[in-house]
């Protein structure tokens, strides 16, 4: 395949971008929900932290699936494995650091 090979492409039409709009509204809703739980509600600190971290993880998954199309491609298992391994190392680093240095877990 030469780098700059040109393909003649036809314009295609699809409907309203529901996936993107739903992704945006869910992201905004989760952001404000997290803000309200942190500022508006006075739950115990640990409960608040658990809930807002859970909401952040949920929101990250929305980005991954609605915007980043992580399951696309000819063999998506390669990128999924890469990302899962990255997540595992990240989790080990953050949780391990907090556990050892801050006794926070």
In the complex, the residues that contact other proteins under the rule CB under 8 A are 1, 3-7, 9-14, 17, 19-21, 23-24, 27-28, 31, 34-35, 38-39, 45, 48-49, 52-53, 55-56, 59-60, 63-64, 66-70, 72-75, 78-79, 82-83, 85-87, 89-91, 93-94, 96-98, 101-102, 104
CB of 57 to other proteins, least distance (A): 9
Geometric angle at alpha carbon 31, from 102 and 41, rounded to 5°: 70
Token pair 């608040």: residue: 48
Query: What is the DSSP code string of 43-82?
Result: --HHHHHHHHHHHHHHHHHHIIIIIS-TT-SS-THHHHHH
CB of 44 to other proteins, least distance (A): 10
């Amino acid at each position: 395949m030469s780098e700059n090979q040109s393909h003649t492409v036809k314009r295609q039409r699809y409907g309203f971008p529901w996936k993107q709009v739903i992704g945006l509204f869910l992201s905004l809703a989760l952001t404000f929900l997290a803000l309200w739980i942190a500022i508006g509600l006075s739950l115990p600190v640990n409960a608040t932290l658990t809930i807002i971290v859970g909401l952040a993880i949920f929101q990250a998954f929305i980005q991954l699936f609605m915007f980043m199309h992580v399951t696309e491609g000819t063999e998506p298992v390669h990128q999924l494995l890469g990302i899962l391994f990255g997540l595992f190392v990240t989790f080990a680093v953050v949780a391990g650091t907090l556990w050892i240095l801050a006794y926070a877990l």
